Amino acid sequence: MFYFYSIVTKPLTSVVLQNEICPVCSKKGTIEVVLYMKFATALIPMFGLGRPTSVHCTECGHEIKSVNTPLFAQNNYSPGIINGIKTIKANHKRTLWQLLYPWSILILLGLLCIFGLLTQYSVSRTNSQTSEMLANPKIGDVYKVNIDSMYLLNANTMGSKRSQTLFKIIDIKSDTLLMVRNKQKTEGIGVKESDWNSLSREDNTFETAPHKISLKGITERKEVFEFFNQKKIDSINKTDRVKSIDPLHFSKSIGQIPNYNGIEIVERK
Ligand SMILES: [Zn+2]
């Protein structure tokens, strides 16, 4: 984008030097000093290039000093003109807008950087708080869960659609979390916090029959593993040649803990 850059000079103020005489038309009080703001721009201003001046005669148009004259080439002007340039620069106070405007892009980039860093900081803070709470569950914690519709009791379709619902911890027995599921669900995967707002957190919106959920599955796999009933566990143990000690071997995954940055996965009062 910098390929299309250009230099802009905009007049800020001007003053006529009453005692100067034009070297061309010899008239007095016709020499005007103009002060400009100068900046590089690529559609949006990029950076400031100071305040150059130009000097010319308002009567005959003779140009004594061009706005593009570099600073170091200023030594062959009359003392009156040199003083006029000095005075106009000293007297003109730029507004805040005039000071900041030439630097628009840099200011925008700076603000974007700060915004990005703050977002990143808050996301990593939320993520570490979430991991901490998942590893140390408390009764009453409400978890956001992405669940497959086919595992929902009130599913009215045979298809498997992704849904969002809430699970609440009502008891903890070592690695087993007793959790009740919210009767409500919404379709989708809940990428944004607001996607979860329509689900009620009231006690009476949760079912009463608890699910036995593995804590290990949640902390290590970010998945909701429901333990089988004792009858099924016994039959697995009977048929397995090698006895498993992995608790997840006796369970099935019924949902996932959403893994989107910045979402408050555990709601704790
Ligand atoms: Zn003149």
List, for residues 47-58, the tens digit of each pLDDT value.
899 999 999 999
Residue 203 amino acid letter: D
Do 56 and 155 fall within a single domain?
no
Strand partners, 251: 227
- Look at residue 125 and tell me if it is in a domain: no
42 CA → ligand 1 middle, Å: 37
39 CA → ligand 1 middle, Å: 30
ipTM score above 0.95: yes
The whole-angstrom separation of Cα 142 and Cα 134 is 11
Q: Tell me which of 85, 107, 129 is where a domain ends.
A: 107
62 CA → ligand 1 middle, Å: 6
Do 90 and 145 fall within a single domain?
no
- 245: DSSP letter: -
Residue entry with tokens 């892009």: 105
Do 155 and 248 fall within a single domain?
yes
What per-residue confidence (pLDDT) applies to 140?
95
DSSP character string of 108-125: HHHHHHHHHHHHHHHHHH
- Look at residue 177 and tell me if it is in a domain: yes
Strand partners, 267: 142
∠ CA 198-201-203, nearest 5°, is 140
What per-residue confidence (pLDDT) applies to 76?
79
What per-residue confidence (pLDDT) applies to 1?
47
- Look at residue 112 and tell me if it is in a domain: no
70 CA → ligand 1 middle, Å: 23
Q: Which domain holds residue 11?
A: 2-107
pLDDT tens profile 154-173: 545 555 567 899 999 999 99
pLDDT tens-digit profile, the chain (269 residues): 456 788 999 999 999 999 999 999 999 999 999 999 999 988 889 889 999 999 999 999 999 999 987 766 656 788 999 999 999 999 999 899 888 999 998 999 999 999 999 988 988 888 888 889 999 999 999 999 998 765 555 545 555 567 899 999 999 998 999 999 999 888 888 888 888 999 999 999 999 999 999 999 999 999 999 999 999 988 888 888 888 888 888 999 889 998 877 788 999 98
31 CA → ligand 1 middle, Å: 7
60 CA → ligand 1 middle, Å: 4
Number of structural domains found in the chain: 2
Do residues 232 and 240 make contact, with C-beta atoms less than 8 angstroms apart? no
**Strand ranges (E), the chain:** 6-17, 31-42, 44-48, 53-57, 63-65, 142-148, 162-173, 176-181, 186-187, 211-214, 223-227, 251-256, 266-267
Mean pLDDT of all residues belonging to the chain: 88
55 CA → ligand 1 middle, Å: 11
22 CA → ligand 1 middle, Å: 5
Do 93 and 144 fall within a single domain?
no
**Token pair belonging to 23:** 């070297």
Do 170 and 61 fall within a single domain?
no
**Token pair belonging to 85:** 């340039």
Do 67 and 167 fall within a single domain?
no
Do 201 and 144 fall within a single domain?
yes
- Look at residue 126 and tell me if it is in a domain: no
The whole-angstrom separation of Cα 266 and Cα 156 is 28
DSSP character string of 41-69: EESEEEEE----EEEEETTT--EEE-TT-
- For 102, list phi and psi in degrees, rounded to 5: -60, -20
